[in-house]
């Protein structure tokens, strides 16, 4: 049973169920209409499927844009045909398609743009003998189906896309943490990341960040006109905050690692201090990765948890890095300034992650 509920929480499965229910209902309603419409009942499920989208707002948007595009295509086909009756059919079709494609460039249609040319050709080839009846059957039943699709999307576990967003944020955290850990391991060996490898890792991280931003934006769209939005307001806000925090830390990490790669402070005069600069830098980045991987507390603060341990470790590493800066006498070296910028970057990253050391009750 738990596996079944987990499966039903998947956005793709939910959309499939909604589309199936909407198509079945649309057909059942259409066959009850007068023969003029019921004989073409199959157009209604088409409209239902068109209108079932990941969010209620997207569903409503797709419904009206699709029907309007279909009506525009029909009107274009009828108008051009009446003006070019003496022209060969091939030229008429070519002209209609050319005009339809131009009309499709209008941003109003969005993803439903192709319906303009499709409907125009359909009208010319199928509905030309009785355009009024064809418009009523095709557009009318498509609109009916689309309305049922929007209704089903709104009422049948209306999607908020929370599961997908949470999973994508977790994946992005994992990639960012692995990014930091790999750089830390390189620094422990007194090296810097290879430029080609560095570029590849950046591309992978940026790809995950793009997917995370898209998932967050999907959640925001899903909250519009959604009857469940109020109930899940706190969860949606938490997802938004988590996504923005990871995004912010990724920018800071990119800056601080770029400084390490460019100025290599662990190979310069600042490394004359007894503690190896590369190891101190590595520990700071590795500890930050631990906080990135542990986003939430599991206790109320009375007892320390894993996140507390990771935060304490990160602040200890940061304090060692700051101590290294305070003790060095090579303050004019470029590596010194790079090291200071890294310390600031780590501190700002911890702040972005809301990583604060808690005071725990003692027995």
- What are the structure tokens assigned to 212, written together? 């995370």
Domain housing 261: 162-352
Q: Do residues 167 and 219 share a domain?
A: yes
Q: Do residues 170 and 198 share a domain?
A: yes
For residue 360, being part of any structural domain is answered with no
By mean pLDDT, which of 54-68, 140-154, 227-241 is the weakest?
227-241
By mean pLDDT, which of 146-160, 202-216, 229-243, 328-342 is the weakest?
328-342
Over residues 265-277, the mean pLDDT reads 55
What is the pLDDT, as a whole number, of residue 340? 83
What is the pLDDT, as a whole number, of residue 229? 58
By mean pLDDT, which of 69-83, 94-108, 224-238 is the weakest?
224-238
What is the pLDDT, as a whole number, of residue 79? 92
What is the pLDDT, as a whole number, of residue 13? 79
Boundary (domain end) residue, out of 126, 155, 184: 155
Q: Report the share of the chain in percent with pLDDT over 70.
A: 85
What is the pLDDT, as a whole number, of residue 15? 83
What is the pLDDT, as a whole number, of residue 178? 92
User: How far apart are alpha carbons 229 and 346 in whole angstroms?
Assistant: 35
pLDDT band at 22, cuts 50/70/90? Answer: very high
pLDDT band at 253, cuts 50/70/90? Answer: confident
Boundary (domain end) residue, out of 132, 155, 178: 155
* 347 pLDDT more than 50: yes
By mean pLDDT, which of 107-111, 169-173, 297-301 is the weakest?
297-301
The sign of the torsion formed by the CA atoms of 240, 246, 251, 256 equals positive
For residue 334, being part of any structural domain is answered with yes
Over residues 74-92, the mean pLDDT reads 89
For residue 57, being part of any structural domain is answered with yes
Q: Which residue has the higher pLDDT, 141 or 257?
A: 141
Assess contact for 66 and 109: CB atoms under 8 A: no
The sign of the torsion formed by the CA atoms of 313, 316, 318, 320 equals negative
Q: Do residues 236 and 125 share a domain?
A: no
Q: Which residue has the higher pLDDT, 98 or 4?
A: 98
Q: Do residues 184 and 296 share a domain?
A: yes
Q: Do residues 281 and 250 share a domain?
A: yes
359: number of Cβ within 10 Å = 6
Assess contact for 318 and 348: CB atoms under 8 A: no
Over residues 69-89, the mean pLDDT reads 90
Per residue in 280-328, pLDDT tens? 888 999 999 999 999 888 887 778 888 989 999 999 999 988 888 787 7
Boundary (domain end) residue, out of 155, 188, 207: 155
Q: Which residue has the higher pLDDT, 232 or 80?
A: 80
Contacts of 61 by beta carbon, 8 Å cutoff, 6+ apart: 53, 110
User: How far apart are alpha carbons 244 and 206 in whole angstroms?
Assistant: 14
Q: Which residue has the higher pLDDT, 26 or 129?
A: 26
What is the pLDDT, as a whole number, of residue 272? 46
Q: Do residues 348 and 307 share a domain?
A: yes
User: How far apart are alpha carbons 180 and 77 in whole angstroms?
Assistant: 59
For residue 313, being part of any structural domain is answered with yes
- What are the structure tokens assigned to 31, written together? 């066959």
Q: Do residues 239 and 338 share a domain?
A: yes
For residue 361, being part of any structural domain is answered with no
What is the model's pTM?
0.65
Please tell me the total count of domains within the chain: 2
Over residues 249-264, the mean pLDDT reads 82
Q: Do residues 148 and 168 share a domain?
A: no
Q: Do residues 132 and 168 share a domain?
A: no
Q: Which residue has the higher pLDDT, 69 or 279?
A: 69
Q: Do residues 175 and 132 share a domain?
A: no
Backbone angles phi, psi at 178, to 5 degrees: -65, -35
User: How far apart are alpha carbons 24 and 49 in whole angstroms?
Assistant: 10
Q: What is the mean pLDDT of the chain?
A: 83
What is the pLDDT, as a whole number, of residue 160? 60
Q: Do residues 210 and 114 share a domain?
A: no
Q: Do residues 190 and 137 share a domain?
A: no
């Amino acid at each position: 049973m738990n596996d079944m509920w987990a499966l039903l929480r998947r956005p793709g499965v939910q959309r499939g169920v909604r589309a199936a229910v909407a198509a079945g209902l649309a057909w059942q309603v259409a066959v009850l209409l007068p023969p003029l419409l019921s004989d073409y009942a199959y157009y209604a499920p088409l409209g239902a499927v068109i209108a079932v989208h990941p969010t209620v707002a997207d569903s409503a948007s797709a419904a009206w844009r699709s029907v309007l595009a279909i009506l525009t295509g029909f009107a274009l086909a009828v108008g051009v045909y009446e003006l070019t009756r003496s022209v060969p059919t091939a030229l008429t079709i070519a002209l209609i398609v050319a005009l339809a494609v131009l009309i499709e460039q209008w941003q109003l249609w969005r993803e439903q743009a192709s319906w303009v040319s499709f409907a125009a050709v359909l009208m010319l080839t199928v509905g030309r003998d009785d355009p009024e009846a064809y418009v009523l059957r095709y557009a009318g039943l498509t609109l009916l189906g689309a309305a049922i699709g929007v209704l089903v999307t709104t009422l049948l576990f209306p999607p908020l896309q929370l599961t997908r967003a949470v999973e994508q944020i977790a994946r992005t955290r994992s990639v960012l943490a692995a990014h930091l850990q790999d750089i830390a391991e390189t620094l422990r060996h007194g090296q810097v990341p290879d430029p080609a490898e560095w570029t590849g890792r950046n591309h992978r991280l940026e790809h995950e960040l793009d997917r995370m931003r898209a998932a967050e934006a999907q959640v925001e769209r899903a909250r519009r006109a959604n009857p469940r939005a109020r109930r899940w307001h706190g969860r949606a806000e938490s997802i938004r905050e988590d996504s923005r925090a990871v995004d912010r830390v990724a920018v800071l990490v990119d800056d601080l690692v770029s400084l390490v790669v460019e100025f290599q402070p662990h190979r310069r005069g600042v490394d004359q201090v007894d503690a190896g600069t590369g190891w101190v830098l590595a520990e700071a980045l590795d500890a930050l990765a631990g906080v990135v991987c542990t986003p939430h507390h599991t206790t109320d603060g009375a007892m320390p948890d894993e996140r507390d341990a990771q935060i304490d470790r990160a602040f200890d590493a940061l304090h060692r890095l700051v101590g290294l800066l305070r003790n060095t006498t090579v303050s004019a070296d470029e590596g010194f300034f790079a090291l200071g910028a890294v310390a600031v970057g780590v501190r700002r990253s911890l702040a972005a992650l809301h990583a604060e050391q808690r005071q725990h009750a003692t027995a």
